[in-house]
Structure 1
Amino acid sequence: LNELNNFAKSENQDISLKSNPAALGIDFANTMSVWLSMGCISPRQIYWQVQQYEKAHGSNMLTHAIVLELFWRDYYRFMFKKHGDQFFQKEGFKGQAPAESHNQDELLAKWKTGQTGVPFVDAIMREINATGYTSIRTRYTAASFLVRDLQVNWTCGAAYFEEKLIDYSPATNWGNWASIAGVGNDPKENRNINVIKQAGEIDPKGQFVKTWVPELGAVTGKQIHTPFFMSDQELAVFNIQLGKDYPKLIIEPKWQKLSDKNVSIF
């Protein structure tokens, strides 16, 4: 309750969002989502505190994001009432499951442990394993990579998030995973999140990756997100050998090198 009250009194909730889009909803989620999932605080309390803040300081990206997430939370709960346990089936309520790889167990294990060879995805999974938390946007990125790039049964990923996330909510978790897999509520059919573009937008300086993937701590610039595009000679400058110091990419790369231009998240 103190954190919620402090939010309503603060005048600087939008500053971090302007300098770092990755911060979207992080402070709120870190302090509120766990208590919300446990029933210690109600969504109405959060909503009206946001309204109080907007009345005093105006709306911004963060207040919009908070209210939107509350709406999605309720929406998925209603969808669960409508579709029931179909949300736990890999076909969802669309009737057809996404394509699956033949070596799913191996790929799933590497995804779980943050050993995929994609630094941003590995950082996300290591953060989840260590803290039980990662931001909403990075959850989408890791989930899309598992389903679309690795082609692993999405229910395995949803079950792993259920096991690990300290702010786990059944309807929100499984509803979002079904949406990403294309078998749930998603207006964009078969959307595929480009994880490398996401990495460049969310973590342009590589600080998030360096925190959770210290093996690449010496690598500079955006190339930290694509070590698989670097030559052995380039990696040697940073005393890194793929397959020894950091895993080789477990699938064929389908992305381009990052540039400094603004890019779409999808």
Structure 2
Amino acid sequence: MTHENRDRLDGRRALVTGGSKGAGRAVVERLREMGADVWTSARTMPTGYDRPDRFIEADTSTAGGAETVAARVGEDGALDILVHVVGGSSTPPGGYAVITDEQWLVELNLNLLGAVRLDRALLPAMVESGSAVVLHVGSIQREMPLYEASLPYASAKAALRTYSKGLANELAPRGVRVNTISPGGIQTEAYESFVDTIANGSAMTRDEARQSIFDALGGVPLGRFASTEEIADLVGFLVSDRASAIVGAEYVIDGGTVPTV
């Protein structure tokens, strides 16, 4: 196999969850550039979406939504690539004492169980095909949890990493590679809006607001968060044949936010 071919995904079928915006959208675009036939799912299809025939409107945090996605993409056979990008936090501030059972379940369903359900539905055919890749998008909060408003999110992502590692050990002998990427902050439209909110609410400049976010994380040595394209670069590498010996790994992409020795 040539080096050029190892960078290509021609003839491969992929699904990217949470692919309507942010990092998910960048991943969809990158995998298409690499030649893959890419499906994506999200709760709502963006206005004017260019490939409506490859978009599935479904909430994968629900059992029914996961079933809808699995049934649709499974109509044409096994996937070669499955990338779980969907995730997020909606927990109100206030720490552990204000987090209800209902909110815990919302975060667990969105950030852990949606991936578990989709994997369970789609992996048997992928295993049968003898060669496939699964990538779970976690978070640095799995080892650096922010307790004020995202403790359930952080806990779910920690569980996702453990699940991903165990799944990798189970499936690698059967030809399916499973890995995790754990981003820190990402430069998305939502992040830029968050910067504006802090700046407007605290009489700061945008640069001061951005620095306050970095300070809350204990600093970001790189001086910026990763772009969505940089997240997509890492995904593109890990699902390609260039990463064919990488199994059960976690790739952190956070500009140095997590202190390491």
Return the TM-score normalized by structure 1. Answer: 0.30
Q: Which has the larger radius of gyration?
A: 1
Q: Which has the higher helix share?
A: 1
